């Protein structure tokens, strides 16, 4: 069969040729577009990358978008975190608008920036210069409307402290470039600024609920007694974890400047004070633990004692022989110094040193002071230091020492970190298991510690700490009233009043310390400014609020083991 010869002739063949040409043309356009995109990507990747590298290297200290880890309390509440905050800078070589014109625009958008200030910045010799940090959304919008490539906006990291002043002295602050000034921000800066840990918050031992309570009570009593300052701390007696710490006056960490005046220093860690009768806790414990005295032993406190050029008397004189429980409960200076004389200088110094009273406290903050010790330690210093005069320590030293007196005799270093933290595969979490760390240094025997718990309870039930009583809770504590040293001289017009308490005293969990700097007597206190009238009731109010929040159940009053040794009729 003859094959069929199919041919397309005439108009039909011309139409097919036209269609083919159009397809080729469209494909050529696509090819050209693709090639232009490739060339553009190469240009951005090579040429602009080098420009960006130069820009970043020239401004390596601007801390743009550098992550900083959050700080949280023991329950995960955020104490410090970061927000992206737009900032404005000028890159002079990229400016397309006359500086005079830009200065007019910028001064109208940024009210705090005058025309002359803006012009000076725009004409600076530096290629890169910051103009304004933390722009508002409207300011950012108006600046971008200008459209000059020399005005560069960047999302910088701004450190935010959501609770303001509440835990300022613990947290510290950072400046515009995220450089820390104080607090845990400074102490843990290497860890907080490490990008590898940016998603893992630093978990502190603080409990923000207790921090609120402590801060409120200190503020209200500072105002009530017209005091110059106040400070307080709540610590776990078994672990050394600091649950709350406040010093007044405080500062706002959000202003980036940190403490600006001496009055804003951290009184708990930096302030050194003669804390008075709280030291009797240590002297009595030392005498009992060294078997210098027994509970039934005592000393004649009938009349004042002359030592060197000082005449030492009791603020609450009983004018009789006092046994050891009475010396402590009635806060007898005479009885305490006579016990110290039997202990002796060498053993007294050894005991104080064992409690850490001769060195800076162990805690994760750089801003802390060493105690001020007597230049020499003779008979006079032996006597006065026994009841808290002539030796100045930070409140943290006192709190740490008293915690050891009641927790079985172990001195645990104070810490601002929550101890029962677990880390699995790089993820940090908080364990709900109670901490059972018993690695603290043994400074007194468990038996002596048990006796001191009863002593502290006596001081609240029958002694100078009666105003700290709280219905439903067994409390132990010790008052401390000491004349302040002003211009090298003791002042009778200015005192530090403090009260240190432990609760529940039968099974100690927390030690609470509070002090007022130069409180003034008021009608309610019969114009007295002593610790028993000012600091003791303040601590009682703190315990009244903290106890239920921490799940401590009220208990019926128990008989104090050594109560029979107190002549109650003399306690009023």
Residue 156 has φ and ψ, to the nearest 5°, of -90, 160
Q: Which helix (H) or strand (E) holds 482?
A: strand 476-486
- Buried/exposed 305-326: b ≥16 CB within 10 Å, e otherwise: bebeeeebebeeebeeebbbbb
User: How do the domains of the chain map onto residue ranges?
Assistant: 83-92+100-126+136-202, 210-570
CA atoms within 13 A on the CB side of 477: 35
Q: Are 516 and 223 in contact (CB under 8 A)?
A: no
What angle is formed at CA 16 by the lines to CA 15 and CA 17, rounded to 5 degrees?
90
Which tokens go with 569?
């009729």
Under DSSP, is residue 260 helix (H, G, I), strand (E, B) or coil?
A: coil
Q: d(Cα 373, Cα 389) in Å, to the nearest integer?
A: 10
Nearest alpha carbon to residue 171 among 360, 364, 362? 364
Q: How far is CA 416 from CA 45, 47, 167, 391, 397, in A?
A: 48, 50, 12, 26, 15
For the chain, the helix, strand and coil percentages under 3-state DSSP, each to the nearest 5: 40, 20, 40
Under DSSP, is residue 398 helix (H, G, I), strand (E, B) or coil?
A: helix
Which tokens go with 563?
């109560």
Q: Which helix (H) or strand (E) holds 347?
A: helix 345-354
Check residue 398 and give its pLDDT.
97
Check residue 306 and give its pLDDT.
93
Residue 180 has φ and ψ, to the nearest 5°, of -75, 150
Q: Are 184 and 170 in contact (CB under 8 A)?
A: yes
Note the maximum CA span of the chain.
Answer: 149
CA atoms within 13 A on the CB side of 536: 26
Under DSSP, is residue 510 helix (H, G, I), strand (E, B) or coil?
A: strand
Check residue 57 and give its pLDDT.
37
Q: Are 503 and 552 in contact (CB under 8 A)?
A: yes
Check residue 83 and give its pLDDT.
83
* Three-state SS sequence of 292-323: CCCCCCEEECCCCEEECCEEECCCCCCCCEEE
Query: For the chain, which residues score pLDDT lower than 50?
Result: 4, 6, 8, 46-65, 422-436, 568-572
Which tokens go with 545?
């609020």
For domain 210-570, the question of CATH label 3.40.710.10 is answered with yes
Cis geometry, peptide bond prior to residue 179 (ω within 30 degrees of 0):
no
User: Residue length, the chain?
Assistant: 572
Q: d(Cα 204, Cα 190) in Å, to the nearest integer?
A: 16
Chain centroid, CA 413 distance in Å:
16
Check residue 479 and give its pLDDT.
92
Neighbours of 502 (CB within 10 A): 28
- DSSP assignments along 83-138, one per residue: EEEEEEEEEGGG--S-HHHHHHHHHHH-TTS-HHHHHHHHT-SSSEEEEESS--HH
Neighbours of 367 (CB within 10 A): 17
Which tokens go with 231?
């400070």
Q: Are 395 and 515 in contact (CB under 8 A)?
A: yes
Superfamily (CATH) of domain 83-92+100-126+136-202: Penicillin-binding protein 2a (Domain 2) (3.90.1310.10)
Q: d(Cα 214, Cα 513) in Å, to the nearest integer?
A: 10
Check residue 88 and give its pLDDT.
84
Q: d(Cα 108, Cα 101) in Å, to the nearest integer?
A: 11
Q: d(Cα 186, Cα 569) in Å, to the nearest integer?
A: 55
């Amino acid at each position: 069969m003859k094959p069929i010869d199919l041919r397309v002739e005439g108009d039909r063949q011309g139409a097919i040729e036209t269609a083919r040409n159009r397809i080729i043309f469209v494909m050529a356009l696509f090819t050209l577009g693709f090639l232009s995109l490739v060339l553009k990507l190469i240009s951005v990747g090579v040429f602009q990358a080098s420009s960006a590298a130069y820009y970043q290297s020239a401004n390596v200290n601007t801390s743009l978008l550098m992550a900083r880890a959050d700080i949280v309390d023991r329950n995960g509440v955020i104490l410090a975190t970061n927000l992206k905050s737009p900032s404005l800078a000028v890159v002079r070589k990229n400016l397309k608008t006359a500086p005079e014109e830009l200065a007019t625009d910028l001064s109208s958008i940024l009210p705090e920036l005058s025309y002359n200030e803006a012009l000076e910045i725009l004409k600076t010799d530096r290629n890169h210069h910051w103009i304004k940090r933390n722009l508002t959304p409207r300011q950012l919008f108006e600046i971008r409307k200008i459209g000059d490539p020399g005005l560069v906006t960047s999302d910088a990291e701004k450190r935010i402290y959501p609770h303001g002043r509440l835990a300022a002295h613990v947290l510290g602050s950072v400046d515009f470039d995220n450089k820390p000034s104080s607090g845990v921000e400074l102490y843990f800066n290497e860890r907080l600024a490490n990008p590898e840990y940016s998603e893992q918050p630093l978990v502190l031992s603080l409990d923000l609920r207790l921090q609120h309570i402590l801060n409120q009570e200190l503020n209200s009593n500072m105002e009530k007694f017209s005091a110059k300052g106040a400070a307080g701390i709540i610590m776990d007696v078994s672990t050394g974890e600091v649950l709350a710490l406040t010093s007044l006056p405080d500062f706002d960490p959000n202003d980036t400047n940190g403490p600006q005046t001496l009055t804003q220093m951290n009184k708990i860690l930096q302030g050194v004070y003669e804390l008075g009768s709280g030291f009797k806790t240590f002297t009595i414990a030392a005498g009992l633990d060294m078997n210098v005295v027994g509970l039934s032993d005592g000393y004649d406190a009938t009349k004042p004692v002359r030592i060197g050029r000082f005449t030492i008397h009791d603020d609450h004189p009983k004018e009789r022989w006092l046994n050891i429980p009475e010396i402590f409960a009635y806060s007898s200076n005479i009885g305490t110094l006579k016990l110290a004389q039997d202990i002796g200088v060498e053993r007294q110094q050894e005991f104080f040193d064992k409690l850490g009273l001769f060195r800076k406290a162990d805690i994760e903050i750089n801003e802390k002071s060493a105690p001020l010790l007597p230049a020499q330690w003779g008979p006079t210093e032996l006597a006065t230091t026994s009841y808290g005069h002539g030796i100045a320590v930070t409140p943290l030293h006192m709190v740490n020492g008293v915690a050891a007196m009641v927790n079985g005799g172990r001195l645990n270093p104070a810490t601002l970190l929550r101890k029962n933290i677990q880390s699995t595969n790089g993820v940090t979490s908080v364990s709900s298991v109670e901490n059972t760390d018993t690695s603290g240094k043994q400074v007194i025997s468990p038996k002596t510690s048990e006796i001191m718990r009863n002593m502290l309870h006596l001081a609240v039930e029958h002694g100078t700490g009666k105003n700290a009583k709280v219905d439903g809770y067994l409390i132990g504590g010790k008052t401390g009233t000491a004349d302040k040293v002003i211009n090298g001289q003791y002042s009778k017009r200015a005192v530090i009043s403090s009260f240190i308490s432990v609760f529940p005293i039968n099974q100690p969990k927390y030690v609470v310390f509070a002090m007022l700097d130069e409180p003034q007597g008021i009608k309610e206190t019969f114009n007295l400014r002593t610790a028993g009238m000012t600091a003791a009731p303040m601590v009682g109010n703190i315990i009244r609020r903290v106890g239920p929040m921490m799940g401590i159940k009220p208990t019926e009053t128990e008989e104090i083991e050594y109560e029979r040794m107190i002549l109650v009729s003399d306690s009023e």
